[in-house]
A = this chain, B = another copy of it.
Amino acid sequence: MVRNSLGRWIPETFNGKALIPYRDPFALQPQGMRASRPLTRVNPGASKVLGSLREAIEASGLRDGMCISTHHSLRNGDVLLGQLVREIDALGIRGITIASSSIHPVHAELIPYIEKGVVAGFECGVNGPIGEQISRGLLKCPVVVRTHGGRARALVAGQVPVDVAFIAAPACDEYGNLSGSSGPAACGSLGYAQVDAEHARVVVAVTDNLQPYPVTPVSIPQTLVDYVVCVPTLGDPKKIVSTTTRITTDPVGLQIAQYAARVIEVSGLLRAGFSFQTGSGGISLAVANHVRTLMRHNKIKGSFGCGGITGYFVDMLEEGLFQTLFDVQCFDLKAVESIGRNLNHVEISADMYANPFNAGAVVNRLDAVILGATEIDTRFNVNVNTESNGYLLHNTGGHSDTAAGAKLAIIVAPTMRGRLPIIRDELTTITTPGDTVDVVVTERGIAVNERHADLKRELLRCNLPVKDIGQIQEEITQITGQPRPLEFTDEVVGLIEYRDGSIIDVVRRVAD
């Protein structure tokens, strides 16, 4: 065990692989070449269409111990991964690693196959029951949690060699051109899967919507797709994207959003060329609403909005408040509808979105990002992976990527959740280093990272409730009391990998 620069104990190896302890956000330099795929040849007249998922698994050469991937653009509506694992089991294949872009609660259906040894590990973060059971020691299954940019890096750098990528294709032609913007399982951007298509040994497009050649717009081109398979359905459209995402109506949330918007305004970043990311949560959207009003009022034309895109950002694009949307994932149906018809709504890969090991990702160009937290410490480190019960319940998403990239990374969070204080002495898990977090906004005040003395002064000048983060913590714990420390065993059940591949923290098994 060694301590990384944030004081977390990191084992020397995990699941047989040597680990690099996290040191700082920007120093680790990549070595070697971008990973690539085998050359192949498909002559005129050859068909790529196979009869079933099982035939595709056989044709792909999948064997015991190999690694597969899917994308999570269908989110909790995805049925492909479950189908795949059942077929893999039926073929008698064991010890498969799953390196999907994310795992959702729907994938709790994999639990019996983990127990049976069909699935041997996850080279990706997990949302929901699988993570919970692993943290409780009920399932033996190593997990490596990665950011969206870190996952792209892991594939691009060859750290995680995917043997077969099974890409859910909402629209696909028989030659493998595939698009996310139409069909019963339309999910818009296929930005995560684009990375798999470029780096997996074999690529299988799986569709419930085979269309005449050529399918456009082309999210992933025919040149990268080895096989095409039709299935009855890719998923439940109602769960693929929510039809609406709404601004919070909670007074605490509204107060936080108002403060956060003022921080952006006072920062001086809200000028021509402003770039911005928010999530789809109610507070984030409320911040976006304030920012939109300010941009309108001050006639500010921004450069781009990015990240998971909501209809809210589509409206801002169409209103002329942004020149471009960079979209790695559509968060609602309005975004899905827009990406297929608006040339300024640009589909980008997770590599372009957030990979730290390329010639510069989009997150590097962000002015401001609004992010959430399950816990924050007084050094501005943030946890989004585990809840305060110690269970691994959430994937990192673009959290650490955008925090590292943006000039102004703002964490918005109510000071209490279920009577637990959000600001802690020690985090259950460190997801995002405080070195990349600039401001924490709560309903009780605004804490500014000490690196930003100018911003702090300016906020004070504007009569905003700037407080020391320790002071906010103290105010809360006077109400909540000191939370009872969690007890963990020594057993490391998962890793929290920073975007550069170093280990920022581990997940330990929760003691009974």
Contact B324 A216 (CB under 8 A): yes
Any B CB within 8 A of the CB of A156? yes
Prevailing SS type, chain A contact patch? loop
Chain B residue numbers with a CB within 8 Å of A267 are none
Any B CB within 8 A of the CB of A296? no
Interface string of A427-441 (1 = CB under 8 A from B): 000000000000000
**How many A residues face the partner with a CB closer than 8 A?**
66
Chain B residue numbers with a CB within 8 Å of A32 are 38-39
Could you pull out 5 A-B pairs where Cβ atoms are within 8 angstroms? A30-B41, A31-B39, A44-B407, A175-B365, A221-B352
Contact B214 A326 (CB under 8 A): yes
Chain B residue numbers with a CB within 8 Å of A176 are 359-360
Chain B residue numbers with a CB within 8 Å of A218 are 346
Chain B residue numbers with a CB within 8 Å of A43 are 26, 356, 364
Any B CB within 8 A of the CB of A36? yes
Within 8 A of B (CB), among A391-411: 404-407
When chains A and B are docked, how far (Å) is the Cα of A407 from the Cα of B45?
9
Any B CB within 8 A of the CB of A128? no
Contact B365 A39 (CB under 8 A): no
Stretch at the interface among A85-93, A222-230, A470-478: A222-230
User: Which of A45, A359, A363 counts the most B-chain CB atoms under 10 A from its CB?
Assistant: A359
The number of times this chain is found in the oligomer is: 2
Contact A39 B44 (CB under 8 A): no
Contact A360 B38 (CB under 8 A): no
A212 in complex: contacting residue of B29, B36, B273, CB < 8 Å: B273
Within 8 A of B (CB), among A133-192: 156-157, 175-176
Contact A39 B30 (CB under 8 A): yes
Known: A212-B273, A213-B273, A304-B214. A360 touches B222 (CB 8 A): yes
Q: How far is the CB of A255 from chain B (nearest CB, A)?
A: 30
Residue of B nearest to A356 (CB): B41
Contact B39 A33 (CB under 8 A): yes
Residue of B nearest to A304 (CB): B214
Contact B357 A323 (CB under 8 A): no
A216 in complex: contacting residue of B40, B156, B203, B343, CB < 8 Å: B343
Contact B224 A359 (CB under 8 A): yes
Interface string of A280-309 (1 = CB under 8 A from B): 000000000000000000000001100000
When chains A and B are docked, how far (Å) is the Cα of A218 from the Cα of B203?
25
